[in-house]
Amino acid sequence: MRRTLLEGLLHRPLSEPPPAVDAAELEAVARAVGVAARARLGRSLSIREIDAGSCNGCELEIIALGNAFYDLERFGLRFVASPRHADVLLVTGPVTRNMRAALLRTWEATPDPKWVVAVGACAHDGGEFAGSYACERSVGAVLPVDLFIPGCPPAPVDLLKGLLGLLTLSAPR
Amino acid sequence: MPTILPELRAATRVEAHHPWPRFVVDVASWRVAGGELAAGRWTLLGLWGEADSVHMAVLRGDRDAIAVLTLPCADRRFPAIGARHAPAIRLERAAQDLFGFAAEGLPDARPWLDHGAWPVRAPLGRAEPVADAAVPYPFLPAEGGALHQIAVGPVHAGIIEPGHFRFHADGETVVRLEERLGYTHKGTEALMQGADLARAARLAGRISGDSTVASALAFAHAVEAALGLAPPPRAVWLRALAAELERLANHLGDVGAVCNDASFAIINAHCAVLRERVLRAAAVAFGHRLMMDRVVPGGVAANLDATGAAAITALVAAVRQRFPRLVELYDSTASLQDRVVGTGRLDPALARQFGCGGFVGRASGRDFDARRWPGYPPYDDLRFDVPVRTEGDVNARVWIRIEEIGASLGLIEQLLAGLPAGDVRAKVGSSAEAEGAALVEGFRGDILAWVRVAADGTVARCHVRDPSWFQWPVLEAAVDGNIVADFPLCNKSFNCAYSGHDL
């Protein structure tokens, strides 16, 4: 224990510099989020993650955002346990019909202003599960989506780019 | 008479089913099979439907023989195996929902995967349209003076998959836990029907994202068994390399997560770093952090170059250097040991009855690992230990994983050292209808895949049974008598798949 803690003090942190968010991505986020967000949120966002029927691949990469390399919380982004505390709903999966009601109720439980970020190919257009009797077409078919982060699953660095874009634009200038 | 299962008096062996035999049986033999399972002489490996028949895969003895039994049921009725053998109950409830069957005598007739939200009833059977109306789902009762209920999910507080847990508690003590699953049902089996092999392999790789390599490998093995195809040796070794990296990543992540659920965050922080290093090495070596879509029927869709091999070598060195210290910390921290030792104990008799695979079974005395038996290449050329313990508590499951991390590191070194040269993908073709089955050891346990490939090379029917089917039910028993606050710890120590189970 002592050795592990001592090393933690003496070594440089593993956390890596944030990825650059390019202008085109920022513009896309700006269009999606609109001006209203900028004044209200300051430089922090509380995120409630909802698995709406993903294969859990997206969850693995979202969890990885918390490891020392990405260290999400240093940017003012944090995951919260309740939709009541959330600004952003981060939704994965093709929205299975069995999860539709729970997703809607979670959205309704989230106070305004709120944003929906759809994560992964399934959330965008059903991905490999498009056309199934058991799935809605996408997150967009159930909720108004403000931002889409592509990938199957998106790597943590892609998730970080999308969320940082949201943060940059929602901060007062 | 099938010599492989002499218990069955009347059975017709089906041609073109590999590598294990498939027998078409009558109702009397189906009942005999139910009796063998109930008596504990056979273990249920899977049970799934088809339009006009129901199949089950069984293991005879501890590692004697495997066979698939098929009961034709044109009238869509069959005697429930679950009437005498509890591990079949959820599988039969699922078969009822998907195919419109009636499993006669099933003690629990409530729907399982069908929550009343689909536009069709019996989507893989007659697919009759239904109006959108949720069906009430009565939870099982618990009776007593001061009991209260706690309803959790399907949306959970953490970043995890959706499912519902209904607790009956007496103060802090869990009197009954009941799971309700099916929220992530995506209709994967229906999508596979009629799909070409490439598309079906992508679907197999998304049954449970954390087991993408193992599930795709089980599917590929089944297809290759059906078509009589042998992938090139280099592909076989690269598959094992990917599978061991996947096992390593999951075990590292979960050992940390179990400690985190006991509020000991420092091990989680360090394990998460090691897990990230595994995924980064996988991205360098195989071009995808989770190695999705790399295992395909016929071989692998990625080759390993010197850079990839070097990344994996460096990874093994890093884990070997860092992990033992975390294990020492785990084992010597009294407050942590107080939480994990004796918590969430799974009775070895239950593990045996349910045929629990993976670390769940091996922590409760069930000595089964599909890599060793029935076995598949290249593991017959490799040395590895399969740890087994009997305590069956959270601590035992953590220790099995710790020891398997060591075993996987050893396997990865052997795989890198002995990697054959040559092609990594064989041409896949089919000319006649054929069936295949496979058992592959994922990080959670043995994954059963069964496939019928049509003459045109598409998938006529495919079923993939995740290990979670036989682990979720016993979690309910393992939690019994523990305090509610220890449930996350117990649950994480099992880490059953929701998506893998719900399909």
> CB–CB of B359/B401 below 8 Å?
yes
Residue with tokens 């030792």: B341
User: Whole-angstrom Cα distance, residue B183 to residue B115?
Assistant: 8
User: Whole-angstrom Cα distance, residue A75 to residue A159?
Assistant: 13
Picking from B187, B325, B333, the nearest residue to A134 by CB comes out as B187
Enter the tokens of residue A30: 């700006």
For every residue of chain A, DSSP letters joined together read: -HHHHHHHHHSPP-PPPPPPPPHHHHHHHHHHH-SHHHHHHTT-EEEEEEESS--SHHHHHHHHTTSTTT-GGGGTEEE-S-GGG-SEEEEESS-BHHHHHHHHHHHHTSPSS-EEEEESHHHHH-GGGTT-TTB-S-STTTS---EEE-SSSPPHHHHHHHHHHHHHHHS--
Contacts of A63 in chain B (CB under 8 A): 159, 253
Query: Would you say residue B26 has pLDDT above 80?
Result: yes
More confident residue, B429 or A28: B429
Q: Which pTM value belongs to this model? A: 0.95
Closest CA to B246 of B429, B494, B412, B7: B412
Residue with tokens 């009437």: B83
Residue type at B87?
P
Return the DSSP state at B425.
B
Enter the tokens of residue B190: 């229906």
Per residue in B402-415, pLDDT (tens digit) is: 999 999 999 999 99
Query: Would you say residue B382 has pLDDT above 70?
Result: yes
Q: Any residues with CB less than 8 A from the CB of A165 and at least 6 apart, and which? A: A21, A25, A26, A28, A29, A147
Q: How many CA atoms lie within 13 A of A59 on its CB side?
A: 25
B190 inside 8 A of chain A by CB: yes
A55 inside 8 A of chain B by CB: yes
Picking from A96, A103, A128, the nearest residue to B185 by CB comes out as A96
> CB–CB of B366/B489 below 8 Å?
no
Closest CA to B255 of B365, B247, B283: B247
User: Whole-angstrom Cα distance, residue B483 to residue A145?
Assistant: 40
A153 inside 8 A of chain B by CB: yes
User: Whole-angstrom Cα distance, residue B98 to residue B192?
Assistant: 14
* Sign (positive or negative) of CA dihedral B174, B176, B179, B180: negative
Range B383-394 average pLDDT? 98
| Model confidence band, residue B2 (pLDDT cutoffs 50, 70, 90) | low
> CB–CB of B258/B489 below 8 Å?
yes
Picking from B119, B155, B498, the nearest residue to A102 by CB comes out as B155
User: Whole-angstrom Cα distance, residue B110 to residue B105?
Assistant: 13
Per residue in B187-200, pLDDT (tens digit) is: 999 999 999 999 99
B299 inside 8 A of chain A by CB: no
Return the DSSP state at B420.
P
Range B421-425 average pLDDT? 97
Q: Any residues with CB less than 8 A from the CB of B248 and at least 6 apart, and which? A: B278, B319, B405, B408, B409, B412
User: Nearest-CA residue of chain A relative to B277?
Assistant: A69
Per residue in B113-157, pLDDT (tens digit) is: 999 999 999 999 999 998 766 678 999 999 888 899 999 989 999
| Model confidence band, residue B232 (pLDDT cutoffs 50, 70, 90) | very high
* Sign (positive or negative) of CA dihedral A120, A123, A125, A129: positive
Picking from B191, B253, B325, the nearest residue to A3 by CB comes out as B325
User: Whole-angstrom Cα distance, residue B439 to residue A83?
Assistant: 41
User: Whole-angstrom Cα distance, residue B494 to residue B503?
Assistant: 19
* Interior/surface letters B90-114, b for 16+ CB within 10 angstroms, e for the rest: bbbbbbbbbbbbbbeebeeebebbb
pLDDT recorded at residue A23: 65
Closest Cα in chain A, distance from residue B201 (Å): 11
Widest pairwise Cα distance in chain A: 56
Calculate what percentage of chain B has a pLDDT beyond 90.
93
Per residue in B464-479, pLDDT (tens digit) is: 999 999 999 999 999 9
> CB–CB of B294/B287 below 8 Å?
yes
Query: Would you say residue A169 has pLDDT above 80?
Result: no
Lowest mean pLDDT among A26-30, B40-44, B86-90, B278-282: A26-30
Q: β-pairing, A115-119 with A88-92? A: parallel
Query: Would you say residue A39 has pLDDT above 60?
Result: no
B123 inside 8 A of chain A by CB: yes
A7 inside 8 A of chain B by CB: no
Q: Strand, coil or helix: what is B373?
A: helix
Query: Would you say residue B1 has pLDDT above 70?
Result: no
pLDDT recorded at residue B333: 96
Return the DSSP state at B5.
S
| Model confidence band, residue B429 (pLDDT cutoffs 50, 70, 90) | confident
Per residue in B57-110, pLDDT (tens digit) is: 999 998 899 999 999 998 999 999 999 999 999 999 999 999 999 999 999 989
Query: Would you say residue B4 has pLDDT above 80?
Result: no
Per residue in B208-226, pLDDT (tens digit) is: 999 999 999 999 999 999 9
* Sign (positive or negative) of CA dihedral B287, B404, B333, B482: positive
User: Nearest-CA residue of chain A relative to B163?
Assistant: A99
Per residue in A109-149, pLDDT (tens digit) is: 999 989 999 999 999 999 999 999 999 989 999 999 999 99
For every residue of B227-296, DSSP letters joined together read: HT----HHHHHHHHHHHHHHHHHHHHHHHHHHHHHTT-HHHHHHHHHHHHHHHHHHHHHHSSSS-TT-EE
What's the mean pLDDT when you consider all of chain B?
A: 96
User: Whole-angstrom Cα distance, residue B136 to residue B115?
Assistant: 9
Best probe of the B interface among A47, A55, A110, by most B CBs < 10 A, is: A55
Closest Cα in chain A, distance from residue B187 (Å): 5
User: Nearest-CA residue of chain A relative to B208?
Assistant: A55
pLDDT recorded at residue B477: 98
| Model confidence band, residue A152 (pLDDT cutoffs 50, 70, 90) | very high
> CB–CB of B325/B342 below 8 Å?
no
Give the alpha-carbon dihedral of A155, B258, B333, B484, to 10 degrees: 140
Residue with tokens 């009541």: A84
Query: Would you say residue A36 has pLDDT above 50?
Result: no
Per residue in B455-465, pLDDT (tens digit) is: 999 999 999 99
Picking from A49, A56, A101, the nearest residue to B209 by CB comes out as A56
Picking from B160, B184, B276, the nearest residue to A64 by CB comes out as B276
Q: How many CA atoms lie within 13 A of A77 on its CB side?
A: 26
Query: Would you say residue A81 has pLDDT above 90?
Result: yes
Best probe of the B interface among A51, A138, A159, by most B CBs < 10 A, is: A51
Q: Please, which residues 320-379 of chain B have a Cβ atom closer than 8 Å to chain A?
A: 325-326, 329, 332-333
Range B251-266 average pLDDT? 97
Q: Please, which residues 95-124 of chain A have a Cβ atom closer than 8 Å to chain B?
A: 96-103, 106
User: Whole-angstrom Cα distance, residue B466 to residue B498?
Assistant: 10
Per residue in B37-60, pLDDT (tens digit) is: 999 999 999 999 999 999 999 999
User: Whole-angstrom Cα distance, residue B168 to residue B166?
Assistant: 7
B198 inside 8 A of chain A by CB: no
Closest Cα in chain A, distance from residue B214 (Å): 14
Q: Any residues with CB less than 8 A from the CB of B489 and at least 6 apart, and which? A: B258, B261, B262, B339, B340, B343, B344, B394
